[in-house]
Structure formats: C-alpha cells, structure tokens
Amino acid sequence: MAEIFQGYWWLLFPLGFFVAAGWGSFMRYKRTQAKIDLLKTYAASGKEPPADLIASLDDPGDGRHDWTGGDGDGDSKRGGGNAFLVILFAGFASVFAYEGYAGLLGMGDVAYFVSLIFVVLSLSFLAAAIFKRKD
C-alpha cells in the first residue's frame, strides 16, 4: 500500500481540488436551501420577502469570492484572480521541472510530466484571464 503513495503522491493535488469543489458546491446548496426556507417562512406569515433576498437566489456566486475571478470590487474584469493562479501554477511547473533536471527527489521523468500538467493549467488560466468576457 505504501508503494502506491510513493508512486502516485501527486494525485493528492487533483483529489484535493475535487474535494474542495464538492465542499463548495455542497455549501452553496445549503445556503440556497436556507434562503428558500426563509422565503417559505415569509410566505407562511403573509409578509412580502425583501427584494434583496429574492435577487440573491439568482446570483450563482452568492456575493462571495470566487478564486477564478476577482475579489468582487471590479477586479474580476481585469482577471486578478486568474493572474494569481497563472503565477501559482507556473511556479509549481518550474519547481517540478527543476526537480526533473536536478534529480533532488529522484522522480526522473515523472517530474517533467507533472510540470507539463502545471504548465497546461497555467496557460488555461492565462487564456481565461485574456479572453474573460467584459460585462
């Protein structure tokens, strides 16, 4: 069993992203359910719900920071969040490429493969930042 983790330790990164995305989706679902329950309470009492509450049901981001965009203050139009991810994944790519070159951990060609994955991720976030639709 230990050999699996030694050979495929890098799979923990994508699995971590999947778990984080699933948790974020679950929490969005719970927030939406809480809003719907609040709307049911308003309807049961015969009161008009606030317009902000109804409008917040249409907002998929729920006003919270999305790590693929900006920080909510207009920075998302400039691709600020994507710039961070471009730099982050380019840094990871360079670290793994250096490891493949220097052989510090003895990963060999696997380090180049992991570096290539990080380069593709970095380029995809760069393209998303460049071609982001202006609202």
Looking at residue 91, what is its pLDDT? 92
Do the beta carbons of residue 81 and residue 70 sit within 8 Å? yes
Tens place of pLDDT for every residue, the chain, 135 residues? 567 667 777 788 888 889 988 998 999 899 999 999 999 999 999 988 888 888 887 776 555 544 444 444 444 444 456 788 888 899 999 999 998 898 888 888 888 988 999 999 999 988 888 887 665
Are 87 and 120 in a shared domain? Answer: yes
Looking at residue 1, what is its pLDDT? 59
For residue 132, give its domain range. 66-135
Do the beta carbons of residue 119 and residue 90 sit within 8 Å? yes
CA 92 to the chain's CA centroid: 16
Looking at residue 41, what is its pLDDT? 92
Inside any domain, residue 10? no
Inside any domain, residue 39? yes
Looking at residue 61, what is its pLDDT? 59
Inside any domain, residue 6? no
| Domain count of the fold of the chain | 2
Q: How far apart are alpha carbons 50 and 54 in whole angstroms?
A: 7
Looking at residue 16, what is its pLDDT? 86
Are 79 and 134 in a shared domain? Answer: yes
Smallest Cα–Cα separation from 126: which of 91, 94, 82, 72? Answer: 82
Q: How far apart are alpha carbons 131 and 60 in whole angstroms?
A: 21
Do the beta carbons of residue 122 and residue 89 sit within 8 Å? yes
Looking at residue 75, what is its pLDDT? 47
Inside any domain, residue 9? no
Are 81 and 121 in a shared domain? Answer: yes
Residue whose structure tokens are 């799979």: 11
Inside any domain, residue 8? no
Amino acid at 126: L
Are 71 and 130 in a shared domain? Answer: yes
Looking at residue 133, what is its pLDDT? 63
Are 33 and 45 in a shared domain? Answer: yes
Looking at residue 90, what is its pLDDT? 92
